[in-house]
Structure 1
Amino acid sequence: MSLQTPDNEWIRQKLNTLTEYADELYNIQPSATNEIGPWAALKLFHLIVTVDLYTRIIHKSDGIDRKLYFDVLAGSGIVEIENKDVNITGSPIIAATLPEYPFDELHFFEGKRERATALSHRLDYIADETPLDIDRDACFVHHGDANQTVPEEIDKIIQESGYSGTNQLTFADNERMEIDWKTMIALSRIWGDYLINFQHKGVSRELGYLESGEASEERIETAQRKLHKFVGGRQYRRCNSADELRKLYKQQLATIGEKYDEPQNNRPINRQIRVKGAGDRYSYDLIYATRETDNGSPYIGFMDNMKERIERMSGDDVAEVIEIMEGSATGLDEFVPDQAEIEREDGQSSLGDF
């Protein structure tokens, strides 16, 4: 089975429809939104094409009859673009409405009660008041600290239906270092892929407290505790920069299954896309991690192409991406590679090899 590139026309149609209702969804509970900077919108743009690609591959894969989506820092379903006076749909609504071949279950985890409640109401509104295709019964909103609720939910899923025929896509949209390593280990128990937001600013801040010589003992202990939870141990002490910690994090993803004696669940195939803010004042990496099949991974060509395109983007390009997400631009083809542009290794496998 050949790799199916994202269906740009399908995405455009969905985004146009989502845009029609973005303000209505915002008005359901205006106090419960997430505000992001223009550059941060790129992570949602990348999620859009990743969700489309992932679900269409899984749909055609032998032996997989149940696909799950986990959004471990889900938010309220609506985001505001800072200084743009623009509302766009957030990651939960993108995942619940955009795929041509929907997820069988979507689990949204949100720590703030107001946001979790708003997300539930917005999903209800989409199901009852819009023409968007959404299986509301397949959408589960979990209120609580994801580092507690995610492992509990994974245990329930495995106890109820086991592993066979199940695959998952996880989106971990860290603003700093919110998702602990033990939570990532719990998620890895189900075969599938991660899309992780690795925030350089948050990591650099905590590392800086350890090196400054001016921080209080209490603040140093706080930084040590956060870093310990984020990487699951004292390995962070070998790291002197955010780049070194990111390298360590990726190495741990590569061997994550070994933590519970399931090396076949390692995620050794990973790619990162560096997104830089205006003036390079901040940056984050989108890390895509997947397990290795007998002949490779189906996403490498696609991710490498996306990496090249996004990392060379200018401020004007970001503005165009926001317009695409608003459904008001036709420039999607400029940022998403087509089949001819993706060079795949001979014999590279599809997810059907699972």
Structure 2
Amino acid sequence: MRPLALSAGEPAGIGPDLCLELARESREYPLVVLGDPGVLAARAEQLGYRIDCQTWHGGEVLRTAGRLSIQPVPVRTPVRAGHLDTSNAAHVIDLLTQAVDGCLAGHFSALVTAPVHKGVINDAGIPFSGHTEFLAERTGGKQPVMMLACPGLRVALATTHLPLREVADTISSERLETIIRILDQDLRQKFGLSAARILVLGLNPHAGEGGHLGREELDIIEPLLSRLRSEGFSLDGPLPADTAFTPRHLDQADAVLAMYHDQGLPVLKYAGFGNAVNITLGLPIIRTSVDHGTALDLAGSGKAEAGSLRAAVESALEMVEAKA
């Protein structure tokens, strides 16, 4: 198979540490890290790891423990573990740009991303609301869908990184229809499901309480779900979020569609933090990521856990196989 691309993320965070953790293990799959060789070498020395980093320009990929293939992407200024520098924000964007372009050109089979720090990128004057939105714009995707998954649970989002006061105005029949169609299609095509059963949450407490706690369910969500069911979609809801995440409902669902970020993700991260995967649907490429941030306080300490990155790699490999 073509190699997986792994972008090293914010160089001052734990991204380089996680890449090096994978490099310490033998790998049956081909993996190329996009990052700065000097940063990775310095971090390996700080951690006490012996890693042989070799430049990759196509061709054979190193797979044995202690060796790593790297596509060099230089930082703009020297890096200190745990200390952000706006000068390297452009480096992070370079990582993602080269990784995405490599996937689109067919050099890589999928993209796995280590965490970035949105704040320092914006402080550098670069508009950036997250991986999901950046990848959609770079690949020409019309509507990216953010989904996190852990064993036994998948949660997709109707809205992602928005202030809470803007969420209700963003929920529309057109937006939800697009997201449900993408979610249904990618669950079947990228996860190999013969049919996709989707549980849809309401926006308001108690799913609006029959209109007494908000009318979005009555005016927008219920009519849309009814229409899509008539087309053959398997949709349950809208259900109250406070009772939807129970075995009675989840046992009958392949994925949950939450209306906003903090409605669905706290439950998923409670259930699987450290082993969950962030997946971007609705793109012409496969992309997975870790479920956590840059953890600046852990960078270079040897205490960073690579469980979520391993899960992201495994998920990307499964999606590549399902798509083949």
Same fold flag (TM > 0.5)? no
- When normalised by structure 2's length, the TM-score is 0.33
Structure (1 or 2) with the greater helix fraction: 1
- When normalised by structure 1's length, the TM-score is 0.31
User: Whose relative contact order is higher, 1 or 2, with alpha carbons under 8 Å and at least 6 apart?
Assistant: 2
